């Protein structure tokens, strides 16, 4: 039976959710937590926009992306709409600009031609909005009304800002010029990986999605039971070194490995390697450009900036396939000892730097094996952070889906050619990721921080083997 209540449910999903944001027993404790998350989000937005000059803020670095100044004002516009006007009950601050920052009215490629607020006015606007949003936070009961219950509207805005921060980080990767963002290197593995390269996920049912996670978005709901046959899944995402073998073997020249749509796209775009890779003409080595730094492609990091078609072609070449969305989530959440679905692969504890590479902390994926404490009960590693992982599933609602609080977040995108991505990347903040979080994009997209891992069907005899 599926629960649709916002209250924490008993059993696997509810037990996990109760340890999350719902642990704040008093409204005051929750207000303090929310205020801190809002501050952290804004600090990141400020870092990303203060790192460049006014010309860079106003420029369109790719037709796939908005000018950075649009993203910043859009962050303020959504915060004003939900926290200032709706929750706070205040009159609009600048109603004349609403249409400029409506993502559904204007494509990314066209936003450069709009009469946008300049950088100074944008910063003033988002600061004014934040002041009034914090006032709304101080006055909201954070319970009762669904939009305010357990600070849902505030959590939605925290996640929205962090999602646009990751989008702005991708814009930074697309811009040319000297490096302006800096971060320490991710941790190195303590030892070379000597364990299995793949693990067996046993056949059976598991709980997919959530009904009790307080800040889960509508497409993650409701929790429901999914039955899957046994399958194998890679312990780690596919690395640059492994992917380079596919390139060296002529994988981009052999249509056999590609779907019809993928091969047509590869030929039309002239794809020969992951985006931002270039071969040294003298040595034949692969180099990459990463946030303005040109460096050798590190063999032990998860491959990034590949589209769904490239990922699927590699998987076929390797004799495998991409996991479905349900397979990915079961590998990430299912605990065979208890039979319950965890909030994160490692348990219900929120992410820390020991568990995953998140939050723009390192500006690159970490080498495989760098986060053993983040492993799932089945031994699958680096499911959260590092790179978004393509899944071989279309973008569809769960049974019992209900749009909330607006149709344009998820519902209008269902169907089409979208493919699901899971797990977050090094540019995803911990407040905007969990094992139930669902992302989606067109299968040709390569500017996002996306990689993949492989899966394969289990043979009948494999179900007797425990790894």
Q: Is the pLDDT of residue 17 over 80?
A: no
The predicted structure's pLDDT at residue 195: 75
The predicted structure's pLDDT at residue 153: 98
The predicted structure's pLDDT at residue 191: 74
Is there a contact between 48 and 56 (Cβ–Cβ < 8 Å)?
no
The predicted structure's pLDDT at residue 402: 97
The predicted structure's pLDDT at residue 204: 96
The predicted structure's pLDDT at residue 366: 98
Q: Is the pLDDT of residue 405 over 80?
A: yes
The predicted structure's pLDDT at residue 403: 97
Q: Is the pLDDT of residue 141 over 50?
A: yes
Rounded mean pLDDT, 53-82? 97
Q: What is the pTM of this model?
A: 0.93
The predicted structure's pLDDT at residue 12: 40
The predicted structure's pLDDT at residue 205: 97
Residue 14: pLDDT band with limits 50, 70, 90: very low
The predicted structure's pLDDT at residue 7: 28
Residue 285: pLDDT band with limits 50, 70, 90: very high
Low-confidence winner among 9-13, 30-34, 202-206, 222-226 (lowest mean pLDDT): 9-13
pLDDT, tens digit, 9 for 90 and up, residues 352-399: 999 999 999 999 999 999 999 999 999 999 999 999 999 999 999 999
Q: Is the pLDDT of residue 2 over 60?
A: no
Is there a contact between 317 and 257 (Cβ–Cβ < 8 Å)?
yes
Q: What is the mean pLDDT of the chain?
A: 93
* Structural domains of the chain, with CATH: 11-174 (1.20.120.450), 198-240+303-464 (3.90.1580.10)
């Amino acid at each position: 039976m599926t629960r649709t209540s916002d209250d924490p449910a008993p059993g696997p999903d509810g037990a996990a959710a109760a340890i999350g944001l719902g642990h704040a027993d008093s409204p005051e404790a929750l207000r303090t937590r929310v205020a801190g998350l809002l501050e952290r989000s804004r600090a990141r937005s400020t870092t990303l926009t203060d790192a460049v000059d006014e010309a860079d803020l106003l420029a369109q670095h790719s037709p796939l992306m908005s000018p950075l100044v649009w993203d910043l004002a859009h962050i303020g516009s959504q915060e004003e709409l939900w926290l200032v006007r709706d929750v706070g009950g205040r009159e609009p601050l600048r109603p004349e600009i609403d249409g400029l920052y409506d993502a559904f009215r204007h494509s990314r490629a066209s936003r450069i031609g709009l009469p946008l607020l300049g950088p100074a006015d944008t910063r003033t606007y988002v600061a004014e909005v934040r002041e009034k949003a914090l006032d709304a936070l101080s006055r909201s009961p954070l319970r009762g009304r669904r939009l305010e219950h357990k600070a849902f509207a505030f959590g939605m805005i925290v996640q929205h800002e962090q999602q646009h921060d990751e989008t702005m980080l991708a814009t930074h990767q697309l811009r040319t010029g000297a490096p302006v963002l800096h971060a320490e290197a991710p941790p190195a593995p303590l030892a070379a990986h000597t364990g299995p390269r793949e693990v067996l996920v046993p056949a059976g049912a598991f709980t997919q999605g959530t009904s009790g996670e307080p800040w889960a978005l509508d497409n993650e709901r409701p929790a429901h039971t999914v039955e899957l046959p046994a399958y194998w899944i890679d312990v780690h995402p596919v690395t640059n070194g492994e992917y380079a073998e596919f390139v060296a073997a002529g994988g981009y020249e052999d249509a056999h490995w590609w779907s019809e749509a993928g091969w047509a796209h590869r030929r039309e775009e002239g794809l020969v390697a992951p985006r931002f890779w270039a071969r040294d003409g003298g040595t034949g080595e692969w180099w990459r450009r990463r946030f303005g730094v040109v460096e050798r492609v590190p063999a032990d990091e998860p491959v990034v900036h590949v589209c769904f078609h490239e990922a699927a072609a590699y998987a076929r070449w390797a004799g495998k396939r991409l996991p479905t969305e349900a397979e990915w989530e079961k590998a990430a959440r299912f605990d065979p000892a208890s039979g319950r679905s965890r909030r994160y692969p490692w348990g219900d504890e929120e992410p820390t730097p020991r568990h995953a590479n998140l939050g723009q902390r390192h500006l690159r994926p970490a080498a495989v094996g760098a986060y053993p404490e983040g492993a799932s009960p089945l031994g699958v590693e680096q499911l959260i952070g590092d790179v978004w992982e393509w899944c071989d599933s279309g973008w569809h609602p769960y049974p019992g889906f209900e749009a909330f609080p607006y149709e344009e977040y998820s519902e209008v995108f269902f169907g089409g050619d979208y493919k699901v991505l899971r797990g977050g990347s090094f540019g995803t903040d911990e407040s905007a990721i969990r094992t139930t979080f669902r992302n989606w994009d067109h299968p040709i997209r390569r500017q996002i921080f996306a990689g993949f891992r492989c899966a394969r069907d289990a043979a009948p005899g494999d179900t007797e083997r425990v790894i």
